Structure 1
Amino acid sequence: MSSQSGTAAVNFSELVNKNKQTLARLKDSPRLVLHRRDGEDLVLTTAARAEQDQTVVSAATRMLAAMARREPGSMELLLDILPDAFPWVRFLPEADIHAFAVELVDTMRAADSITNSAAVAQLLTAWQHTAEIHSDPDLLAALTRDHDADYGLTPDPREAE
């Protein structure tokens, strides 16, 4: 089995049953995706490769953050290239595009400082969902409409039994 971009993929059982042959595949591929029947797939790589990947991400993050802080024109450049990197930003209002850019740079810097990109992934997902809402006029209207109706107190679901 193989996967995208030169990454090899095998069933987890191959690692268990043929560990030497399976691990030898890391010489030809930077990563090995281990498909599991009973859980999320795993990615196996060497420690050196993982460190290289982190170094590259960290360098790119620092360069982006430094560029964004340098001069006023750099933020305009960042705003100009965002639609190339994230086409869905075209659905965001202009003020939200700017807020996204600032939040993205700040979150990337913070995440890099603790070498954990989960917050960046969450931020991108949240902003993409916001863009999806703005892309659908009916959904946007439903979510931004004033709801003056008062439906009273919400009953405690534990008491409904």
Structure 2
Amino acid sequence: MSVETNLSDLLNKPKATLASLRGARRILLRRRDDEDLVLTTAARAEQDSTVMSATSRMFVEMMRTPEGRTLVLDVLPATFPWVRYLPAHDVREFSVELVESLGAAGELDNTAAVAQLITEWKHTAEVHADPELRAALIADAGEDFGSVPEPGAAA
């Protein structure tokens, strides 16, 4: 169970706020001018990390067999409905990249790269789902304007 409170409540009345949140799995701390925070116990965070790592290793091992690869491809549309807009070869590529990223994330105990990968593939599916957008992106724009300088570099 997750509960929410304001960070200011925790800072101003820590004992009372924590007492009212007893038994919560996670506490979402709302902040007015910054990103919200999640507070959990170290034991719960370790459990989450263990589960993530075990699940990732399981998927990596499944992908080593033809049956496992077929199963992963079969469940992707239920897990990520937007893959229906991807060409078949992109769905296979997404499944391989996803499982590889999950494996690496489990080892690093950092899921940021997995979240980024999912976001990127979802955007790719959005392009395939919109014929006008896809046509605009693959159309020959005419002349090449050359290389783009690094951000912050003098033009």
Quick check: 1:147 aligned with 2:144? no
How far apart, in 1, do the equivalents of 2:36 and 2:24 lie?
Answer: 17
SS at match of 2:63: helix
Cα pair distance change 1:79/1:15, threshold 3 Å:
same
Tell me how large the CA RMSD over aligned residues is: 2.1
Q: Is the contact between residue 26 and residue 45 of structure 1 (CA under 8 Å) also seen in structure 2? A: no
Partner of 2:46: 51
**Which residue type is aligned with residue 49 of structure 1?**
R
1:58, 1:66 → 2: CA distance? Answer: 12
Amino acid at match of 1:77: L
SS of the residue corresponding to residue 97 of structure 1 reads: helix
Q: Does 1:41 align with 2:36?
A: yes
Q: Which runs of 5 or more structure 1 residues have no equivalent in the other structure? A: 1-5
Distance 1:126 1:62 in 2: 23
In structure 2, the residue corresponding to 1:109 is in which secondary structure?
A: helix
Aligned to 1:112: 106
TM-fit CA distance, 1:148: 2.7
Give me the TM-score of the superposition, normalised by structure 1: 0.87
Q: Which residue of 1 aligns with 2:94?
A: 100
Q: After superposition, give the CA deviation of every residue in 1:90-113 in whole Å (9 maximum; x if it has no partner).
A: 000100000000000111111111
- Greater RCO between the two (CA within 8 Å, min separation 6)? 2
C-alpha displacement of 1:62: 0.9
Aligned match of 1:88: 82
**In 2: Cα distance, 1:93 partner to 1:52 partner:** 37
Question: Given the alignment of the two structures, is residue 16 of structure 1 paired with residue 11 of structure 2, yes or no?
Answer: yes
Which consecutive aligned stretches of 4+ in structure 1 deviate over 6 angstroms post-superposition? none
Are residue 122 (structure 1) and residue 89 (structure 2) matched?
A: no
Between the aligned partners of 2:132 and 2:112, the Cα distance in structure 1 is 31
Residues 97 and 15 of structure 1: CA distance in aligned 2, closer, same or farther (over 3 Å): same
Check the 8 A contact 1:104/1:120 in 2, yes or no.
Answer: yes
Letter in 1 for 2:119: T
The number of residues matched between the two structures is: 152
CA separation of 1:146/1:117 partners in 2, compared to 1, >3 Å: closer, same or farther? same
C-alpha distance 152-127 of structure 1, shift in aligned 2 (>3 A)? closer
